[in-house]
Amino acid sequence: MRLPGRPSDRRPGRRRTRTTTAALALAVAATVLGAPAPPAAAVPAAVTTPFKAGDEGYRCFRIPALVATPSGALLAFAEGRVATCSDIGHNDIVLRRSTDGGRSWGPLKVVVGGADEDAHGNPAPVVDTATGRISLLYATGPWSGTPSEPVRGPRNLRVVHSADDGVGWTEGAPLPHLKPADRGWISTGPGHGIQLTGGPHRGRLVVPGDFTTTDGRAGGQLYVSDDGGLTWALGAQAAADRTASAFPAELAVAETTGGGVYVNARSSARCGTEDHRMAATSADGGTTFDAPFSPVPGLDAPPVSGSLLRLHAKESGAAQDRLLFSAPSRLGPHTLEDRRELAIRSSYDEGRTWQTAGTVVTPGRSGYSDLAPLSSGAIGVLYESAGNIPHSDLVFTSFTEAQLDAGRRELRLPRTLDTGPNGYGNHALVHGGAQLGSRGSGKAMTFDGQDDYLRVVSCSDSLRLGADDFTLTAWFRHTATTGALPIVWGYGMGSGVRQFWLRAEPGRGAVRAAIDTGTAYAEVRTTSSYNDGQWHHAVLKRQAGRLTLAVDGGQEFASAAPAGDITPTADFSVHIGARPDFPNQPAGVTELFRGGLDDLRVFGRALTAQEASRVKSGALDVANEEERMRLGFSSMG
């Protein structure tokens, strides 16, 4: 689902409840799906695939939602997308049930959309444990155009109910009052809602959602029901000017002490920040927010929907409070490239802070996810996955708390700092096992050619080189005799894609560099790859219609450079030591740097020969007013 605002992405008396299914998770057993497992067994990446792209006439499946019923059945919901995998188009809401903890699934059932071709989406189920009634809130609307160029129509909210454990479904009361007159976009979840088990609003159902307004604001809101889902009202709401500040979307909710609500949401902020999550709390059971949404530091994730689960609560007799959060843990701004490494992380203070260590469910591509407790006491997660993209299938796995804890490792990657004079903060994430080595009396970064590389993921305006002149300088050392070794690769890759790059190519006996405006391409190369194991200094410049490359202050190789912008209009990363397609390079291709790199700098203009020589000598006062990034690799942490 696209974020709102971004281009294409009555309170009746309290009711008594039975013990919730979620409370079963307080006594987590040492079994998965009922089968014995040693405490240290790895969390399985997948047990079953409830929704497989191409099945049942659906091009792909997206947007998972997962709930457990009082009987112990698991209900897995998804958007079944018919013609394309687009957010807009003929999309149904489909369901599969499991009565054995996710080991197998019943036939696919179309819950919403079987009689039309509208765009139904964002399933947000919630279970009333007092009656067993399951309410499924969702967003819906018409669309026009063609499947390849769809146009979204007005969007509204609806609800369907099941009183027989998800077997049959009936239309609920209309919900026009949940979309006030000033609303533009409106949505639900995605993912499960909750039922409060304590506090003055015990028994209340809470489902999250988001919205935009006709006057340029956007934010999150909660839908609440105090009669088991029969009627719904707007609860807490929070919005911000969507052109001036970050706003929350795709909210996830969990109960906190005394019937409070913790909300963790996807942030609209992508560039200039490492904080892609926002949070807020409600002490009055979701009626109002205590304060505006604010960034969640240290919870590394790309722009993506996540899920919350209250695993333990002291007020229910547990030794500690524990919330779980599931989402891809690879930090970055890109909604496609950076959705990898689905992980489960924990908070032991009801969301005030989050552990940077967690357990990886899958190291591969992964997108949206939803968590649910199983009747066995294990934890289930339904998540998006595919081969070379983050979504198309929905897979299910489960694990015990013991397995979760046994698999914990530090997820927050080390950083090496941008020490440039202008405070742009273009720090680099350190992947693999890249280590600090030495160059002379100083330090340098070493790469093993296996899985080591760096990424600059700030996508800040300072690194938008655009159509202007620029200079890239870097020290490099290697002994490779074959292949290609990327030194720096900015933006995208492939024919007709905006980019710039510099790499050693011992297989061609050259150091080569290129720029691409998307419509025109230029490259330049030296006559040696400099693979003698010694340190060499490369200077790549775009200047007055020419692209030049020199090594060690020697001959300047040049070619005509096209005019035009080389920076993507959308989000981007800069890779160091790898092509942007790693770790999904084609079979037989391994383009990773093996050797050492040091003192990598980017300037927003072409340096003179004298200035380039001073950079080579280590001077730090060269063209500081135009210095966009300086990675000196003096420290890592």
Residues 578, 455: Cα–Cα separation, whole Å: 9
Question: In percent, how much of the chain has pLDDT > 70?
Answer: 94
Neighbouring-strand partners of residue 485: 504
Q: Is the pLDDT of residue 2 over 70?
A: no
Residue 5: pLDDT band with limits 50, 70, 90: very low
The string of pLDDT tens digits covering residues 499-544 is 999 999 999 999 999 999 999 999 999 999 999 999 999 999 999 9
Give the residue with greater pLDDT, 179 vs 174.
179
Reading the block at residue 153, the tokens are 């129509």
- Boundaries of CATH 2.60.120.200 in the chain? 415-631
- Per-residue model confidence (pLDDT) at position 3: 53
Residue 31: pLDDT band with limits 50, 70, 90: very low
Q: Is the pLDDT of residue 39 over 60?
A: no
Give the residue with greater pLDDT, 279 vs 244.
279
| Strand, helix or coil for residue 386 | coil
Q: Is the pLDDT of residue 229 over 50?
A: yes
Question: In percent, how much of the chain has pLDDT > 90?
Answer: 89
Residue 389: pLDDT band with limits 50, 70, 90: confident
- Per-residue model confidence (pLDDT) at position 27: 36
Give the residue with greater pLDDT, 386 vs 291.
291
| Segment 341-367 mean pLDDT | 97
| Segment 370-390 mean pLDDT | 92
- Phi, psi for 399 (deg, rounded to 5): -160, 160
Reading the block at residue 374, the tokens are 């199983």
Average pLDDT, whole number, for the chain? 92
Nearest to 251 by CA among 215, 223, 283, 290: 223
C-alpha separations of 280 from 206, 220, 260, 372, 376 in Å = 15, 10, 11, 22, 31
Four-CA torsion 187, 331, 306, 383, nearest 10 degrees: 110
Question: In this structure, how many other beta carbons lie within 10 angstroms of the beta carbon of residue 359?
Answer: 23
| Segment 469-476 mean pLDDT | 98
Lowest-pLDDT range of 86-90, 242-246, 585-589, 611-615: 585-589
Under 8 Å between Cβ of 80 and 58:
yes
Reading the block at residue 377, the tokens are 């006491």
CATH assignment, 415-631:
2.60.120.200
Lowest-pLDDT range of 11-25, 165-179, 477-491: 11-25
186 contacts: CB under 8 Å, gap ≥ 6: 139, 155, 156, 157, 178, 179, 209, 210, 211, 212
Residue 147: pLDDT band with limits 50, 70, 90: very high
Q: Is the pLDDT of residue 575 over 60?
A: yes
| Segment 62-88 mean pLDDT | 97
| Segment 244-271 mean pLDDT | 96
- Per-residue model confidence (pLDDT) at position 424: 95
For the domain with range 49-172, which CATH number is right: 3.30.70.270, 3.40.630.30, 2.40.30.10, 2.120.10.10? 2.120.10.10
For residue 295, give the amino acid letter. Answer: P
- Per-residue model confidence (pLDDT) at position 36: 37
- Per-residue model confidence (pLDDT) at position 41: 59
Q: Is the pLDDT of residue 18 over 70?
A: no
As a residue count, the chain comes to: 637
- Per-residue model confidence (pLDDT) at position 358: 98
The string of pLDDT tens digits covering residues 409-455 is 999 999 999 999 999 999 999 999 999 999 999 999 999 999 999 99
Nearest to 635 by CA among 411, 423, 415: 415
For residue 427, give the amino acid letter. Answer: H
Question: In this structure, how many other beta carbons lie within 10 angstroms of the beta carbon of residue 510?
Answer: 20
- Per-residue model confidence (pLDDT) at position 225: 98
Q: Is the pLDDT of residue 91 over 50?
A: yes
Give the residue with greater pLDDT, 635 vs 31.
635
Q: What is the DSSP letter of 291?
A: S
Residues 314, 197: Cα–Cα separation, whole Å: 13
- Per-residue model confidence (pLDDT) at position 24: 36
- Boundaries of CATH 2.120.10.10 in the chain? 49-172
- Phi, psi for 512 (deg, rounded to 5): -125, 150
Residue 637: pLDDT band with limits 50, 70, 90: confident
Question: In this structure, how many other beta carbons lie within 10 angstroms of the beta carbon of residue 237?
Answer: 14
